[in-house]
Structure 1
Amino acid sequence: MARQDTEPARLTESTFTPDRTRVVLETACRLAGIDYISASLLRHHTNAVYVLTDAPIVVKIGRPGWNHIDVVGLVRWLEQRAVPTVRLIEVDQPVLVAGCPVTFWRYLDQRDAIVDAEKLAEPLAALHAQSVRPPVSLPDQQIRNTFTAIGSSIDGSPILSPEDRSLLHARRVELAAQAPEVRYVLAPGVIHGDAHHRNALQDSHGRAVLCDWESAAVGPPEWDLVTLEVHCRRFGHPADEYDRFCRAYGFDIRDWTGYRWLRNVRELRMITTNARKSAPGSNTAAEVLRRIEALHVDAPITWSIL
């Protein structure tokens, strides 16, 4: 059960900013009995992530109003199942502050770390090999939920023109109509939901461990595999990097008949999610609009990381 604090005031999507999440951080650390004086911001995008350099601990603050899964329960189960994952520290968590779930993790120094796609083969294969379900509730309609999320993101974006909304909705309807024809070949099970380089860390032994479990679900492993393929191709990684991942994992998503369809769905989800989160006039908005412009003409451009 999450522990709650009445202060500060509940955050919203628009007030989830570094100055506000810093207050959430301090409140959560006090509740957990952790000294936050050395806290510095690591990143502030989907979540707010701070590092306590004196501890060393990473503090993750989830966005308010999301349908959060029990990440703590899931990760503790993954640890028991020997799935390579970043580890939680031993405090009573999550802590709920201002509508945001706050979790505490072991810090892994990444200054000399290189996590390429090939290193992700081991933890993803271990995850996908789990034949039992975890003792926590996970979303189990990955594809249907994806199309719902795409629609909501299009409607809720503050940066899209009417023409952009029309294009994205038309693409969503077209892809959704093709979904019943897709036949998956890998056994469904627990998936990470957003498997890529930046959602993994290198441990002290040089192995990759998965992190950022907020998108975990029960669904087709093909979703994780195509997510990594999109990241390798769109973000300018070496041309053979995904080839090496496939050899290590034992399956090449590009040889599957549903690859192009799922790739297009995944890219549309990435575009629309960032469209929803982008502020008008920001660098993030400019990158999203550049991706949409390329979508109009089906140009295979390289994307910039947001």
Structure 2
Amino acid sequence: MTTTAAAEASRTHLFQACHLAGLETADARQAEVIRLGENALWRLPGGIVARISREGQHRAAAREVAVARWLASNGVPAVRPIAELEQAVDAGGRSVTFWQELPPHRPGTTANLAYLLRQLHALPVPADIDLGRLDPFVRLGDRIEEADVDPEGRAWLLDRLAQLREAWANLPAGMPECVIHGDAWTGNVAVLDSGTALLLDFERTSIGPPEWDLTSTAVSRGTFAELSEADYLAYCHAYGDTNVQLWAGYPALRDMRELRLVCFALQAALQHPHAREQAALRLACLRGLRGPRPWQWRAVP
């Protein structure tokens, strides 16, 4: 689907959602695309951002709103849903949620992220939200089966997936499980001009080991050398002098994160031919064909 066609299809869902939520049709006509991806984001008049989910994600969308409200009630700085509007509106099979548009802001730092994670992980598990337990392998099997790779590469990926499933089932003891963000990287932190850092995007929020959240930044340091040692140590200190790389279960979580990044690139390559080279590079690195870490991977759509 072309970008234009995708935008028009997404706008159709937006029109339906605005009507059901009681917003003016003119608001949908004036909406501007922020991002079209697995989820579509639209900017509406009046400081409202509409988030349109993938098909079949109503439960997840409703959970995101519930998590954001729970964070607000516990004083954790985070993006807020619009209280006056109906949430998780079903528009042609897509769930649409409405959020307060952020004022001028900049990307967060790893120290900002660590501080927010420390607050999140310290909260008691809410009794009234069905968060479910973290599944680090969600959709990976489907992405591998659909990937444009040779039979040997597919067999290797499926074997790797099976090995990591077993490792997940046998993780060594670590910190107590808690509510985790699930996709904890600096792209999900925004810092306002006032200096307040906000946590964003609760699609993957669940119950799980806090080490999963900490591993994302550790991978930036160890797998890709994108983070200096000083910045990484500042991150560890801001969280509470905890270095997840020293935990016996870290290599398994690192490998799971890396496999997810490879599978994401393989999925992107199906729609974006220019991503094929990057997908092939990532798979070769994982298979030990491009030398030891750190690896130089580029972003894919």
User: TM class by shorter-chain length?
Assistant: 0.7 to 0.9
Q: For the Cα contact (< 8 Å) 2:121–2:210, is it kept in 1?
A: yes
1:30 to 8, 15, 19: 19
The answer for the alignment partner of 1:289 in structure 2 is 280
Report how many residues are paired: 287
Change in 2 beyond 3 A, CA 1:166/1:194: same
Aligned residue for 1:80? 73
Q: Does residue 49 of structure 1 match 2:35?
A: no
CA apart distance, 1:191: 0.7
State the SS of the aligned residue for 1:17.
helix
What's the TM-score once normalised by structure 1's chain length? 0.84
In 2, the alpha carbon distance for the partners of 1:238 and 1:169 equals 33
1:236 aligns with 2:226: yes
Q: Is the 8 A contact 1:235 1:305 kept in 2?
A: no
Q: 1:195 aligns to what?
A: 184
The one-letter code of the counterpart of 1:44 is: L
Q: CA deviation at 1:298?
A: 5.5
Residue type of the alignment partner of 2:32: S
| 1:137 equivalent among 130, 133, 139 | 130
In 2 relative to 1, CA 20–235 (structure 1 residues): closer, same or farther, beyond 3 Å?
A: farther
Structure 1 runs (4+) deviating above 6 angstroms are: none
Name 2:141's counterpart in structure 1. 151
RMSD, aligned α-carbons: 2.5
Using structure 2 for the length normalisation, give the TM-score.
Answer: 0.86
Q: Within 5 Å, which residues of 2 pair with 1:179-194?
A: 179-194=168-183
* Displacement of 1:274: 4.0
Residue 168 of structure 1 aligns with an amino acid whose one-letter code is L
| Structure 1: runs of 5 or more not aligned | 1-11
Partner of 1:275: 266
Alpha carbons of 1:48 and 1:95: their partners in 2 closer, same or farther (altered >3 Å)? same
Is 2:110 the partner of 1:121?
no
Deviation by residue 1:175-229 (Cα, 9 ceiling, x = unmatched): 2333344213211011111111112222353222111111111111111110232
- 1:101 paired residue among 90, 95, 101: 95
Which string of whole-angstrom CA distances, capped at 9 and with x for unpartnered residues, describes residues 151-184 of structure 1? 2321233x33323211211211222333344213
> Structure 2 unaligned runs (5+)?
none
Partners of 1:65 and 1:162 in 2: CA distance = 30
